[in-house]
């Protein structure tokens, strides 16, 4: 209520981020030390694993879905809305892409385009279902997005476990998609999914900064009552934004399926935990797209570095997850994220 | 009687390049009512929050009864016997009235809060001071006027020796204000000390002993109230003479712009807060709604503007039925709207002035082509309005949350007036703005009317209703109790009608009692 309780910048002030990272590194180091490891070696391996030029393709390849899922979370968050259903939307996108690639009778590039489009529309619609539920029936999206994830994951799991299962293997997965449907490779593990995601990232930043829709979303995030009073159609906006958010999740699913897995495999999209890392990155930046993208890239580096460290030393890569959490916790404490103003 | 109770020496407070308090010396005698006056942004609230320990000064000292105070927080000030009514209310919106009032000083029983005793005490306090509130109501659902009463009760409950009142009367009706003045007189008779911030000169003349005037963060004058005049105070504040009477020609009403039929807003269970209201506002007239806060004005306006879907009846703007539509459709049909709560509805505090001023213009040229915003045009639009309404702000890119109360109000008024819409609904349009700005806003509202706009004005300030309105509607208990032409309306008649005492009001033929 207080007219002055809000300090203007929601983003962490510049010095806070390095400080939080420093403290995270310190605590992580102490943990390694306490369990008998060599923290210097651990961090060296993380750095090399993430940043050595020969490892760039790996890091980037990991960053594509992670930054994608960061945008999935950041876009609604910019308007003060939360999409916790990234997992479900990712799975629906992946499955839709696989089915389109397997069953649509289209030639080469068209098949790719159609598969991606199917994935985006399917996930977008599924995400906007939650928005519609809130605007129409008052079911909070915080709950419905999360709950809608489980049936999506369950049904997808059933479909690839039974009707769509590839009988040639013993696993719950579809057949391999035809070569024509596979995303063209740029080099090594990198495919044009990287370019698609870069375009989406730029588009989101542009939308946020320059468009009427971006302005209205930002105002809603700062004060929804003000936006509604001022002429923003909140209900329509909510459905639109959730559609876009879900569509990006669908794109991530499609890129993973068409670009690296070449089939839909039960659980394969979810085990890396892109959704939650992405959500954390988005929260870290308070939904601001550019900040969120940077945070997403940082986490991607940390995680690929973690794999390298696990390979080279005996230290499990859980360390990087701890680092990630400590950094966020510390930033949250310093900035009172979510603190209620009286 | 004349020992110094509270003294500030050479207080300095800077916000970046801006010096909000520039070596301020202030001494307040025990048992006096001391007014602090100044234009919007002069530094009054900043000084008060420093005296109350909410902010630390950059330099300077504070003495309470001769002892230097070093506050770590407002808790120290409260401990030392200070109380404050904040201009920007400090209330928990999700808690009830009694919870807010007793917060920090709860009566307990066996170690638990004694809820019944707390509610009873709050009810008794409200009763004693004639401040009507329901102790069990949730604060967030109350209108600004009622929240003002809660804020006052909260300070009184603490039984402070020194009470700081930062614009406590901005949304009080004359009766409530008189009630508050009685309280103040009782307190000072008891040797309590009052620091009183207001923009209303008649209040200063009526209740205060001495006046300290600030301009641009500096003390420019100190006066003894009985030896000065309103005119002299205004001159000290503004450096010019201000015309307090509104110049206007008789109205020439045209076609009906806003029409409501049988408008009803129900509450859960109880009787309707807005009860079958009929009204019609025509182009070229200003219609004022008078009433004690809490009689349904807020809900009526919410139903008229689309912030709340009415439970019965119809609303039409320029002939288009907008009853169940959102605010956006109301605006499309021709509505501009100054809401009573500038901080929760009228602005986004964390957004820049440019963004706040662009709201409602963002889909049309020149600010955009419907899809892409023109950043240059947004800035130019903001600069123009800031300049025209004299908003005191460093740059249009600053968040409006740092503005003084009156300047924030000007941001809202500037934006809504610049729509030049066929219909303007103005709720407490001059709440918290200084005399010079009131003069300007009043002139703008009359210009709006003369341009052919229909204006619906809601104000707790009867002088404002009387000065501007061509017709006056009195609201009581959810209904329009009476309608008076401007010529028939005076403070006394309105006062009686607002208390629901139709029989005692001398209504002539031109007046309809509903
Ligand atoms: N937290 C802050 N950050 C930046 N500037 C501030 C902050 N608080 C106040 N100011 C500035 O300090 C100046 C004085 O503000 P203050 O609230 O004391 O004015 P005021 O005299 O109470 O005005 P009003 O009559 O409008 O309430 C204003 O220009 C305001 O913008
Ligand atoms: Mg003030």
- Residues B426/B457, Cβ–Cβ less than 8 Å: yes
Is the domain defined by B255-334+422-433+451-508 classed in CATH 3.40.50.10490? no
Sign of the CA dihedral with B61 first, then B67, B70, and B75 last: negative
* pLDDT digits 0-9 by tens, B378-394: 999 999 999 999 999 98
Burial (CB count <10 Å: 0-12, 13-18, 19+), residue A15: exposed
Q: If you measure from the C-alpha of residue B45 to the centroid of ligand 1, how many angstroms do you get, rounded to a whole number?
A: 7
Q: What digits encode the pLDDT tens for the residues A118-134?
A: 999 999 999 999 999 99
Is the pLDDT at B260 greater than 50? The verdict is yes
Question: What is the rounded distance in angstroms from the CA atom of residue A123 to the CA atom of residue B424?
Answer: 43
Task: Report pLDDT digits (tens) over B433-451.
Answer: 998 889 989 999 999 999 9
Question: Does ligand 1 have an atom closer than 6 angstroms to the CB of B511?
Answer: no
Domain boundaries, chain B: 4-238, 255-334+422-433+451-508, 342-420
Ligand nearest to the CA of B409: 1
Ranges of beta strands (E only) in A143-266 are 185-187, 190-191
* Residue B38: pLDDT over 90: yes
Q: Does A11 touch chain B (CB under 8 A)?
A: no
The answer to whether residue A81 is domain-embedded is yes
pLDDT band at A4 (very low <50, low <70, confident <90, very high): very low
- Hey, are the CB atoms on A215 and B373 less than 8 Å from each other? yes
What's the whole-number mean pLDDT along residues B183-192? 88
Does the beta carbon of B288 sit less than 6 angstroms from any atom of ligand 1?
no
Residue B218 has pLDDT above 90, yes or no: yes
A7–chain B nearest CA distance, Å: 7
The three-class DSSP label of residue B160 is coil
Question: pLDDT category, B360, cuts 50, 70, 90?
Answer: very high
Q: What average pLDDT is seen over chain B? A: 90
User: Which CATH number is B4-238's, of 1.10.4190.10, 3.40.50.300, 3.30.70.1560, 3.40.50.2300?
Assistant: 3.40.50.300
Tell me, yes or no, whether A146 lies in a domain.
Answer: yes
* B358 contacts A215? CB cut-off 8 A: yes
User: Which among B85, B60, B70 is positioned nearest to B162, based on CA atoms?
Assistant: B85
What pLDDT is attached to residue A55? 85
Residue nearest to atom 2 of ligand 1 (CA): B402
Chain A residue closest in CA terms to B343: A3
With an 8 Å Cβ cutoff, are B346 and A226 in contact?
A: yes
Mean pLDDT, chain A, rounded, equals 88
Tell me what percent of the residues of chain A surpass a pLDDT of 70. 93
Whether B40 is in the pocket of ligand 1, judged by its Cβ within 6 Å, is: yes
Distances in Å between the alpha carbon of B160 and those of B77, B254, B274? 10, 54, 38
The tens digit of pLDDT for each residue in A266-304 reads 999 999 999 999 999 998 888 899 999 999 999 999 999
The structural domain count of chain A equals 1
- The preferred substitution site among B13, B45, B201, B389 for testing ligand 1, maximizing ligand atoms within 8 Å of CB, is B45
Cβ(B41) – ligand 1 distance below 6 Å? yes
Mean pLDDT value across residues B287-297: 89
Compute the average pLDDT of residues B151-169.
89
Mean pLDDT, rounded, for B399-422: 94
Q: Give just the sign of the alpha carbon dihedral B443, B444, B449, B452.
A: positive
* Both tokens assigned to B313: 């009846």
Share of chain A above pLDDT 90, in %: 61
CA distance B428 to chain A (A): 16
**Interatomic CA distance for residues A103 and A96, integer angstroms:** 10
How far does the CA of residue A101 sit from the closest CA of chain B (Å)? 35
Statement: residue A189 has pLDDT above 90:
no
The structure tokens listed for A111 are 């098949």
Ligand 1: nearest atom to the Cα of B47 = 18
Residue B491 has pLDDT above 60, yes or no: yes
Q: How far apart are CA B396 and CA B381, in angstroms?
A: 10
Is A3 inside a domain boundary? Answer: no
Task: Dump pLDDT digits (tens) for A6-21.
Answer: 333 444 444 677 788 8
Chain A residues whose beta carbon lies within 8 Å of the beta carbon of residue B359: 219, 226-227, 230-231
Inter-chain CB proximity B401 and A6 less than 8 Å: yes
Q: Do domains B4-238 and B255-334+422-433+451-508 have the same CATH topology?
A: yes
**For residue B398, which residues of chain A lie inside 8 Å, CB to CB?**
8
Cα separation of B264 and B281, whole Å? Answer: 18
Q: What is the number of the ligand closest to the CA of B404? A: 1
Q: Which residues of B touch A342 (CB under 8 A)?
A: 90-92
- Condensed to tens digits (0 to 9), the pLDDT of residues A110-119 reads 999 999 999 9
Which residue of chain A comes nearest to B346, CA vs CA?
Answer: A226
With an 8 Å Cβ cutoff, the interface of chain B facing chain A consists of 86-93, 305, 307, 326-328, 331, 337, 339, 342-351, 355, 358-360, 362-363, 368, 370-373, 375, 398-399, 401-402, 405, 408
Cβ–Cβ under 8 Å, residues A9 and B403 = no
In the structure, ligand 2 is a single-atom ion and the residues with CB under 5 Å from it are B 45, 87, 404-405
Q: Which of residues 176-235 of A touch B (CB under 8 A)?
A: 210-216, 218-219, 222-223, 225-235
CA nearest neighbour of B459 among B214, B246, B184? B246
In a domain, A2, yes or no: no
Q: How far is the CA of B440 from the centre of ligand 2 (A)?
A: 19
The angle formed by the CA atoms of residues A253, A259 and A260, to the nearest 5 degrees, is 95
pLDDT reading at A202 higher than 80: yes
Distance to chain A for B337, nearest Cα, Å: 9
The CATH number for A208's domain is: 1.10.3470
B346 CB near ligand 1 (under 6 Å): no
B22 falls in which pLDDT band (50, 70, 90)? Answer: very high
pLDDT recorded at residue B174: 80
The Cα A150–Cα A166 span in angstroms is 23
Distance from CA of B91 to the nearest CA of A (A): 6
User: Whole domain around residue A142: which residue ranges?
Assistant: 9-335
Residue nearest to ligand 1 atom 8, measured at CA: B402
Question: Cα distance from A338 to chain B (closest Cα, Å)?
Answer: 14
pLDDT the model gives residue B507: 62
Give the Cβ contact number of residue A30 at 10 Å. Answer: 11
User: Which residue did the predictor score with more confidence, A86 or B102?
Assistant: A86
pLDDT band, residue A187 (cuts 50/70/90): confident
Statement: residue A337 has pLDDT above 50:
no
Question: Tens of pLDDT along B63-90?
Answer: 999 999 988 888 899 889 899 999 888 8
Would you say the CB of residue B404 lies under 6 angstroms from ligand 1? yes
Dump pLDDT digits (tens) for A39-65.
888 888 889 888 888 888 889 999 999
Query: A235: part of which helix (H) or strand (E)?
Result: helix A234-256
Q: Rounded to whole angstroms, how far apart are CA atoms B255 and A28?
A: 74
- Decide whether any atom of ligand 1 lies within 6 Å of the B406 Cβ: yes
- Residue A181 C-alpha to ligand 1 middle, in angstroms? 62
Ligand 2 centre and the CA of A245: distance in Å?
A: 42
Return the residue of A nearest to B365 by Cα.
A212
Q: pLDDT exceeding 70 applies to what percent of chain B?
A: 97
**CB contacts < 8 A (A, B):** 112
Q: Does residue A274 form part of some domain? A: yes
Closest CA to B144 of B85, B201, B88, B197: B88
Mean local confidence (pLDDT), A204-223: 96
């Amino acid at each position: 209520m207080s007219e002055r309780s809000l300090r203007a910048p929601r983003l962490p002030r510049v010095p806070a981020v390095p400080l939080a990272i420093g403290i995270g590194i310190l605590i992580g180091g102490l943990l390694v030390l306490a369990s008998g490891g060599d923290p210097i070696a651990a961090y060296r391996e993380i750095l090399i694993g993430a940043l050595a030029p020969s490892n760039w393709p790996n890091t980037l390849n990991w960053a594509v879905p992670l930054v994608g899922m960061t945008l999935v979370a950041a876009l609604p968050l910019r308007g003060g809305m939360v999409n916790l259903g990234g997992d479900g939307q990712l799975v629906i996108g992946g499955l839709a892409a696989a089915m389109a690639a397997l069953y649509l009778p289209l030639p080469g590039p068209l098949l790719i385009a159609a598969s991606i489009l199917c994935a985006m529309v399917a996930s977008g619609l599924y995400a906007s279902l939650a928005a519609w539920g809130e605007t129409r029936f008052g079911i909070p999206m915080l709950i419905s997005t999360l709950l809608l994830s489980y049936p999506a994951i369950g049904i997808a799991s059933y479909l690839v476990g039974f009707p769509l299962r590839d009988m040639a293997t013993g696993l719950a997965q579809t057949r391999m998609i035809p070569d024509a449907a596979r995303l063209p490779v740029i080099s090594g593990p990198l495919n044009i999914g990287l370019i698609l995601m870069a375009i989406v990232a730029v588009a989101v930043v542009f939308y946020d900064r320059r468009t009427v829709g971006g302005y209205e979303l930002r105002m809603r995030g700062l004060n929804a009552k003000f936006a509604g009073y001022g002429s923003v159609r909140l209900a329509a906006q909510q459905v639109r934004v959730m559609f876009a958010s879900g569509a990006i999740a669908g794109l991530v699913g499609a890129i993973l399926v068409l670009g690296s897995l070449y089939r839909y495999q039960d659980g394969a999209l979810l085990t890396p935990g892109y959704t939650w890392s992405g959500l954390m990155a988005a929260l870290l930046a308070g939904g601001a797209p550019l900040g969120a993208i940077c945070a997403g890239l940082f986490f991607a580096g940390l995680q690929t570095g973690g794999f390298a460290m696990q390979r080279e030393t005996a230290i499990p890569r859980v360390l990087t997850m701890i680092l990630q959490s400590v950094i966020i916790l510390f930033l949250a404490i310093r900035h009172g994220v979510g603190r209620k103003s009286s | 009687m004349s020992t110094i109770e509270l003294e500030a020496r050479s207080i300095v407070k800077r916000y970046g390049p801006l010096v909000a308090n520039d070596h301020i010396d202030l001494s307040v005698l025990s048992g006096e009512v001391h007014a602090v006056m100044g234009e919007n942004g002069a530094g009054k609230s900043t000084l008060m929050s420093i005296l109350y320990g909410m902010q630390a000064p950059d330099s300077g000292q504070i003495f309470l009864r001769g002892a230097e105070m070093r506050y770590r927080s407002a808790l120290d000030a409260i401990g030392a016997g200070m109380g404050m009514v904040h201009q920007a209310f400090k209330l928990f919106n999700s808690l009830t009235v009694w919870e807010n009032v007793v917060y920090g000083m709860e009566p307990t029983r066996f170690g638990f809060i004694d809820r019944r005793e707390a509610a009873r005490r709050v009810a008794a306090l409200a009763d004693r001071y004639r401040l009507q509130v329901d102790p069990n109501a949730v604060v967030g659902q109350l209108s600004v006027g009622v929240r003002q009463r809660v804020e006052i009760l909260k300070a009184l409950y603490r039984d402070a020796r020194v009470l700081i009142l930062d614009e406590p009367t901005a949304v009080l009706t004359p009766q409530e204000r008189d009630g508050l003045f009685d309280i103040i007189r009782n307190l000072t008779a008891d040797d309590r000390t009052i620091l009183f911030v207001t923009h209303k000169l008649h209040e200063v003349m009526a209740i205060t002993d001495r006046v300290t005037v600030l301009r641009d963060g500096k003390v420019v004058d100190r006066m003894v109230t009985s030896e000065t005049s309103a005119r002299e105070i205004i001159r000290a504040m503004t450096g010019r003479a201000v015309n307090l009477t509104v110049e206007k020609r008789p109205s020439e009403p045209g076609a009906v712009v806003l029409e409501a039929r049988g408008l009803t807003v129900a509450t859960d269970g109880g009787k309707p807060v807005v009860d079958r209201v009929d009204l019609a506002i025509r182009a070229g007239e200003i219609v004022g709604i008078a009433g004690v806060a809490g009689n349904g004005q807020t809900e009526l306006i919410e139903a008229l503007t689309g912030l709340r879907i009415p439970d019965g009846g119809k609303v039409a703007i320029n002939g288009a039925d907008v009853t169940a539509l959102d605010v956006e459709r109301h605006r499309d049909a021709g509505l501009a709207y100054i809401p009573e709560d500038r901080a929760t509805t009228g602005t986004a505090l964390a957004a820049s002035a440019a963004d706040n001023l662009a709201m409602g213009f963002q889909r049309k040229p020149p600010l955009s082509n419907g899809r892409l915003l023109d950043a240059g045009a947004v800035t130019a639009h903001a600069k123009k309005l800031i300049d025209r309404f004299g908003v005191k702000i460093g740059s249009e890119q600053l968040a409006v949350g740092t503005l003084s109360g009156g300047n924030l109000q000007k941001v809202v008024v500037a934006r809504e007036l610049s729509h030049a819409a066929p219909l303007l609904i103005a709720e407490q349009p001059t709440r918290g703005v200084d005399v010079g700005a009131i003069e300007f806003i009043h002139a703008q509202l009359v210009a709006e009317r003369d341009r052919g706009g229909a204006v619906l004005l809601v104000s707790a300030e009867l002088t404002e209703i009387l000065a501007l309105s061509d017709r006056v509607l009195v609201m009581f208990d959810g209904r329009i109790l009476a309608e008076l032409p401007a010529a028939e309306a005076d403070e006394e008649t309105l006062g009686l009608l607002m208390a629901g005492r139709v029989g005692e009001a001398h209504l002539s033929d031109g007046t309809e009692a509903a």
